[in-house]
Chain A
Amino acid sequence: MSTLTTSTFGKSSRSSDGFTIVKAKHPGRWIAAGVLLALVALVLYSVFTNDRFGWPVVAYYFTDFSTARGLLITLELTVISMVIGMALGVILAVMRLSPNPVVRMAAAAYVYFFRGTPVLVQLLFWYNLAALYPTINLGILGLQFDANAVITPMFAAILGLGLNQGAYMSEIVRAGLLSVDSGQVEAAGALGINRFHTLRRIVLPQAMRVIIPPTGNETIGMLKTTSLVSVLAVPEVLYSAQVIYARTFDTIPLLIVASLWYIVVTTVLSIGQYYLERHFARGSQRELPPTPLQKIAYLFRVHDRRLPVSTKTDQENSR
C-alpha cells in the first residue's frame, strides 16, 4: 500500500516511504491524438464553410413546429412499440421454456415468422390489412369494426413495429433467463416460493443484467427503425422533413435536421441505459462501476491510485 498514493491534479506526490512517483510520458499517445484532432478540425472546417449544407435552414427548421411534432410521434412510436415488444418478449420467452411442447412450438413459430420477414414488408401488410379482412369481427364480444377505419397508419405502424420487436425481445429475454443459475430457482422452490414469484422476484431481476444492454441497443435501433413508417405517411421526424423539403427543395438541410434529432435522442437513451445498468448491477459486483463524470475525473489524474469506490463500500471492504 505504501507506494499507492493519491493526489489531486497537477500536484506531485510523495509516497510514505519518501519517493516521488512520476507517471510515464507516453509521447506516442500525444502524437496520435494530435493527428486525429487535426483531421477533425479539417472536416469541421469543410462542413462549416460549405454553404450547401445550408446551416441557417437547418437552424430554422431544427425547432420548427412540424419537426417538433414529428419528434413527438417518433418518440411515441418508439416507446409504445418497445413496451409491446418487451411485454411480448417476456411472454414468448417464458413460453419457450415451458414444459408444454405445444406452447413451446407456438412461441418458436411466432419468432420464426416475424424474424423471417422484413419489418418493412410487415408494416405494409398491416397497413393493407383491410384488403385481407374488410371487417374485423370479434365474434365473442359481438363487436365488428371496419378494418379501414381501425387500421390507421399510426395503428399499423405500432402493430408492425411492436409485434416484430416482440420476436427479437423474446430471444434477448430468453438468453437472460437462461443466464440465471439454476440453483436460484431451486433455492426459491425449496423455500416454497411459487413459480410466478420465482420468475418475478428472483429470476427476472437477475436476468436484467443480461437483458438490458441488448435491449438498450434494440431501443436505439427501434428509434431509427421508426423512420421506416414514413412509407405509411405517418408524420414522424423523417416524414415531416420530407414534407418540408418536397415543398422547399432544401433536401440536405432537412435530412440534417432529422439526423441531428435522432442523434440527440440516441444520446439521451444511451445515458439512461448506463444508469439503468448501474442500478441492476447492485449485488453483482462488490463495487459499482464509476459514473462518466468520475471517469473523466480519473482521466486527468497524474498519479496512479485505487479504482474509484463509493466511500461506503470502501469502508466495508477495508474492514
Chain B
Amino acid sequence: MTMQAEPAEAQAASGSNRMIWADAIHKSYGRNDVLKGIDLEVAAGEVVCLIGPSGSGKSTFLRCMNHLETVDDGIMWVAGRVVGYEMKGDRLREQSYAQVCRSRTKIGMVFQHFNLFPHMTVLENIMEAPTVALRQKKSVVRERAMRLLEQVGLAEKAQHYPRQLSGGQQQRVAIARALCMEPSLMLFDEPTSALDPELVGEVLKVMKDLARTGMTMVVVTHEMNFAREMADRVVFMDGGVIVEEGPAAELITNPRHPRTKEFLASVL
C-alpha cells in the first residue's frame, strides 16, 4: 500500500489533476460482498456517470468517496488525500469524526431523496453548513446563497419551506446547498430517481449547467440521455465490479460486453 501511496501523494503535491483514485475498493455487509475490488480514476473537471442495475454497488461506491460508507479493503483517494484515514508512514490511522467532517466540506453530495432540512427555509438550508461548519460570515454566505438560488432558478422561493416545493424544486435547492460550500467535487446519488417524470428535466438542466462550469462530477444515474450528452466517461457496474468503462457516446451506443448490452437494452 505504501508503494502505491507515495507516488499519489507526490502527484497531489506536484499538482496532478487527478481528483479521485479508487484503488481496489472492497466492501461487504456481513457475507454480502457489495464491492469486489473497484479501481477508478477521475480527473479534475471530468464528469463520470456510474450506471448499472440496482444492487450493483454503484451507490455504495459513491458513498465511499466521502466516507458515508467505510471501505473494508483498498484505498480511496480524493484530492490527493486518503478518505477517512490519516497516512503516517505505513500506517493508516482512522480519522476522528471532526476530521472526516472537515474533509467533507470539500465534497458536495446530492441525495436521491433530497434530504433538505424540513424545519428550515430554503435560504436557511443553504446557509446552514457554510456558517456552522466553515464559520463564514452570514452576510457573505447569504449573498452567495442568493446567487446560487438565482442560478438554479429559485430565487423567489428563498423564504419557503421545503415541503412547500415540488420534488424538482427541492432537488435544485439541494444542489444549491451543496454548491454553497464551494466544493471541488460533486457527488450525485440518483438525483432524479425520486422525481415525477416531468420534473426530471429541470434538475438535469441545473446539472448540465454545473458540468459546463468545469465542476468534477460523479453521477450515479439511470438517465442515459444525460450520461450520453454530458458525461466524459461512463462506467458500467454490475455485481460489485466494473464491467466496462469508456467514453459516453461509445459505451452507450456501442457496448462491447454482453452484460452492458443487456442492461442498456432494458433501460433504453
Contacts and interface: CB of A to CB of B under 8 A. Distances in A.
A190 B104 contact: yes
Interface stretch (B34-42, B155-163, B253-261): B155-163
Given A191-B129, A201-B128, A316 B160 contact: yes
A192 B101 contact: yes
Contact of A186 (B68, B105, B181): B68
Interface residues of A, number: 27
A12 to B, nearest CB: 36
Residue of A195, A283, A284, A313 with most chain B CB atoms under a 10 A cut-off: A283
Nearest to A283: B161
A38 B101 CA distance: 67
Residue of B118, B128, B181 with most chain A CB atoms under a 10 A cut-off: B118
B115 interface: yes
B159 to A, nearest CB: 10
A67 B81 CA distance: 70
Interface string A175-196: 0000001011011111111110
B64 to A, nearest CB: 13
A192 B161 contact: no
A194 B101 contact: yes
A177 to B, nearest CB: 14
B111 A186 contact: yes
A181 B132 CA distance: 21
Contact of A192 (B113, B119, B129, B162): B129
A183 B113 contact: yes
Nearest to B67: A189
A194 B128 contact: no
Interface in B108-143: 108-109, 111, 113, 115-121, 128-129, 132-134
Contact of B115 (A184, A193, A195): A184
Interface string B146-179: 0000000000000011111000000000000110
Given A286-B164, A316-B160, A191 B119 contact: no
Interface residues of B, number: 35
B29 interface: no
Nearest to B181: A191
Interface in A196-227: 197, 201-202, 205-206
Nearest to A284: B118
A184 B117 contact: yes
A202 B125 CA distance: 10
A58 to B, nearest CB: 46
Given A197-B132, A197-B133, A201-B128, A190 B109 contact: yes
A50 interface: no
A192 B129 CA distance: 7
B192 interface: no
A282 interface: yes
Nearest to B121: A283
Interface string A260-292: 000000000000000000001011111000000
A282 B120 CA distance: 8
B205 interface: no
B129 A283 contact: no
A310 to B, nearest CB: 13
A191 B105 contact: yes
A286 B162 CA distance: 9
A316 B105 CA distance: 34
Contacts of A283: 118-121, 161-163
B102 A192 contact: yes
B111 A183 contact: yes
Contacts of A193: 101, 128-129, 132-133
B59 interface: no
A316 B164 contact: yes
Contacts of B133: 191-194, 197
A195 B97 contact: yes
B66 interface: yes
Contacts of A317: 164
Contacts of B164: 286, 313, 316-317
B98 interface: yes
Contacts of A206: 117-119
Interface in B76-122: 97-98, 100-105, 107-109, 111, 113, 115-121
6 contacts: A186-B115, A187-B115, A188-B129, A192-B181, A283-B121, A286-B164
Interface of A: 181, 183-184, 186-195, 197, 201-202, 205-206, 280, 282-286, 313, 316-317
Given A192-B129, A206-B117, 16 more contacts: A183-B111, A184-B115, A187-B116, A188-B117, A189-B100, A190-B68, A190-B104, A190-B109, A190-B111, A191-B105, A192-B103, A201-B128, A282-B161, A283-B121, A313-B164, A317-B164
